[in-house]
Structure 1
Amino acid sequence: MTFKDGIKQDSSCRLIVARIHHPFGQSTSDSLAIEIATMARTHLKARLIFDRCVDFLIQNRMQVPSSYRLNDLIRVGLHDRKAELIALMDDRSPLANVMGPYQHARRIRLLR
């Protein structure tokens, strides 16, 4: 939708802006990444995160990007959360240095 498509004129010649969405840019991507990180911390599934992202964008009157771009943002957010959890497990495990690669593979299986 372009700016001209969203503008109407009423009978008193005032411009009424209707259904204008902000373009999906870097600031929108950053705010959406924060929302995805929050949802990943609550252990939501990827499909539910996708649906909530679309709702978030529509509610804030932002342009909804392609599903590929949304999936990439969600994938990166979930990967970052997984890395945080692995680092947390490494820090708190007393056998982290003793078990080595076996322990790392076990943690990866736990977080699937």
Structure 2
Amino acid sequence: MNIGERIKELRTAKKLTQAELAAKVGLTYIQVGRYETQKSAPSSDVLQKLAQALDTTTDFLMMGSHDEAVAAQLTDKELLRLFKLVEQLSPEDKHLVKTFIDAFLTKRQIQELAK
């Protein structure tokens, strides 16, 4: 699957027309159609806006499967499994998990600096 097919798949899954997606991103529906048919490629700025409007990442739009992209970067399978479970949580719970992780990592950095 290419970037255009992923954009179209996500757009239709969200029940958006090309015009509706274009309005969210600040484009014309013609340009969205060009991206979907691979007649044009989005700039990095537009790619970021598309990812945000489609509730995904630029990595997914460019490379494909979230699992493939994440698995390529994460070698700890247990950690990958936990992150998959976290993705299923409510937005509030996800935010809480991110806050905990950030606090833990910040504490570790401070401990390392204090050595």
**TM class, shorter-chain normalised?**
under 0.3
Name the structure where strand makes up a greater proportion of residues.
1
Larger Rg: 1
| Alignment TM-score, normalising by the size of structure 2 | 0.25
TM, length-normalised to structure 1: 0.25
